[in-house]
Structure 1
């Protein structure tokens, strides 16, 4: 029996379109984008917040390492993290409690005595160091919700009132949660009560409880936080190398062999990201209505 294949004009048009689509799909190339890269750099979160009403402070330092674009930042396996009081009042080794997180409960009076504290991080046959001295902070006198807005009627206003520590040049860092910080100096409200507003956009809703902190700061930590806040506000292209790397106070001291010479001028690009600071923290909370 002879079989006959019948293909009408509609079928031919369908086959032609299918062949065109298939050829376009099968010839699709994978485009690989070269992103800027550099050697991995240590990242250290060593902001120690002290509540002087407690006998012990949980010192928690988190360490990770930079990685390429589109990749997770891995925790770091360190040899050791130590805190030492230069006058011999403090000596502590932090223990790893989870990947990249090192903790130890340390006497609050030892941290807040005003003694200069030395941090050393041993990593891959090198060591990073920084100094910090406890910085006090004032209480938050009042925290309340306002009804104003900045750019949008959906903004949520919180009003903060506090009194500057008298007879000193003071710097403060406010932590508003959600990764929002504000650095302030007392140039225009020295020795006075100060009231200001902070606005949240769409991050908070009715019923949310907000906890806001005021942290003490010295001038270098204030400058560091100011730069961080400014850089975080820039709308950077993710494929563009950032124009600014905010440098903290952790340096690679492996090649420094003079106890009286604390500098790595000859290795100016060999440093860890992050900052080591010991600051008093006062908190206040409110529920959004």
Structure 2
């Protein structure tokens, strides 16, 4: 089973550093780019809960080797495009200066219709649209012997059943910043079993939660790009490692509905992704083999 990792965009630069002596100073020109928003708006929905707390984390890109600052927004609003709500859904910053914005809504409302998230930042407007995507339950988690790659690997066998009657895409969250995107081409309408390998062993008794998220084709492709270009563990929703195109666009200067989804302008977007996805989680307790 191939391991999937996410890597910070600064790590490849490490190979450029050359130390000629302990007193030499090495100057390198680090790449710079346009300042961008990073928007973590992946809303994981537990359909068994009556209320869903939505959390959106917004930060800004910064120079290499510098911390990523939170973004001070003017406003975040959520709109139902098919059945407008009587009152505006406005997110409130959880604590001043954190860049974490929260709002709670009835879960049932989020499972229907098309939803539009608007980010207002420095008099510019970013929009992304989504609809809820379902996910199946995880049928079973079992611990394998982990000997395929290395004696120190921890193998977990995951069993789930594809949602029947449609083409499906899923994203598995294995914790520790490890993700897998999959489509049901080869297991459509069937139960499917596969193994995932963690590089390091866990202590006996460790609880390891594994989640399956619903995904549409666009979110699946987005995650595949992130995963394929990555190796180490990070959060791909909060700190995208590369300029991978999500579903946010800057609509400040767009006044023609016919160009709303125009993605030809490479500079016309923020980093990150907005999605309503069902999350089903199971936990396995690590045993001594």
Does residue 276 (structure 1) correspond to residue 274 (structure 2)? The answer is yes
- Cα distance, 1:38 vs structure 2: 1.2
Instruction: Output the TM-score relative to the length of structure 1.
Output: 0.84
Q: Distance in 1 between matches of 2:33 and 2:265?
A: 16
Structure 2 residue ranges without an equivalent (≥5): 1-20, 233-239
Q: Classify 1:150/1:270 alpha carbon distance in 2 versus 1 (closer, same or farther; 3 Å).
A: farther
Task: Indicate the SS of the match to 1:225.
Answer: helix
Structure with the larger helix share: 1
Name the CA shift for 1:52/1:137 in 2 (closer, same or farther; >3 Å).
same
Query: Which ranges of 4 or more aligned residues in structure 1 deviate by more than 4 Å?
Result: none
Does the 8 A contact of 1:256 with 1:263 survive in 2? no
- Identify the match of residue 65 of structure 2 among 64, 70, 82: 70
Give the C-alpha shift of residue 206 in structure 1. Answer: 2.2
Instruction: Check if 1:44 corresponds to 2:39.
Output: yes
Give 1:203 deviation, angstroms: 6.2
Q: CA contact under 8 A between 2:154 and 2:198: conserved in structure 1?
A: yes
Which ranges of structure 1 fall in alignment gaps of 5 or more residues? Answer: 1-23, 235-241
- Aligned-residue CA RMSD (Å): 2.0
Q: Where do residues 38-187 of structure 1 align in structure 2 (5 Å cutoff)? A: 38-90=33-85, 91-98=88-95, 99-113=98-112, 115-187=113-185
**Larger gyration radius, structure 1 or structure 2:** 1
- Contact 1:43–1:66 (CA under 8 A) maintained in structure 2: yes
Residue 224 of structure 1: SS of its match in structure 2? helix
Shift of 1:32: 2.8
Of structures 1 and 2, the one with the larger relative CO (CA 8 A, separation 6+) is 2
Please tell me whether residue 207 in structure 1 is matched to residue 202 in structure 2: no
**Residue 52 of structure 1 contacts residue 108 of structure 1 at CA under 8 Å; is this kept in 2?**
yes
Aligned to 2:9: none
Following superposition, the deviation at residue 63 of structure 1 comes to 0.4
Q: Between Structure 1 and Structure 2, how many residues are aligned?
A: 256
Whether contact under 8 Å (1:138, 1:164) holds in the other structure is yes
